Structure 1
């Protein structure tokens, strides 16, 4: 199944408290439960003003639906075409 990197602009994201990050995570998970097992949130990376989230999903439309239902910002969706790492260099 395809993987996607989702970019979410969230002002001052890097300064969110643990409680705030937990609330965002809980909201996302509650929407994912309603959407069913075909979409999975793998993890997110928090930077100064953005979240970069990794999802496994059959299509972009389901990711958009997740953002809409969860009232989450959605600035870009990019399908991962391949993954490289240090082993690739060998």
Structure 2
């Protein structure tokens, strides 16, 4: 399955409490269970005003459906074409 990065514009995301982040995570997981194997959440990075989420999914449509059902923005969905790190140097 392809891997994607989802950029979610969420003003004040960096100020969310652990309880807030846990609630968002639980909602995301509940929606993913309903979607079945079409999408899998790997991890997310929280910045001041955005979340960057890494997913494995059948296609971008599965991610859009997850966002719509969960009430999360998915402002930009980009398929990851390659991964580089210091080991690739």
What TM-score bracket applies, with the shorter chain setting the length?
over 0.9
Secondary structure of residue in 2 paired with 1:37: helix
Q: How many residues align?
A: 89
Aligned to 2:6: 6
Distance 2:57 2:79 in 1: 10
The offset of 1:9, in angstroms, is 0.5
Structure 2 counterparts to residues 32-47 of structure 1, below 5 A: 32-47=32-47
Aligned to 2:66: 66
Aligned to 1:28: 28
The offset of 1:37, in angstroms, is 1.8
Aligned to 2:79: 79
Secondary structure of residue in 2 paired with 1:72: coil
Q: Following TM superposition, where does structure 1 have runs of at least 4 consecutive aligned residues deviating by more than 4 angstroms? A: none
Gaps of 5+ in 2: none
Secondary structure of residue in 2 paired with 1:25: helix
Asked if residue 49 in structure 1 is aligned to residue 65 in structure 2, the reply is no
Normalising by structure 1, report the TM-score.
0.97
Distance 1:70 1:52 in 2: 16
The offset of 1:38, in angstroms, is 2.6
Distance 1:15 1:55 in 2: 23
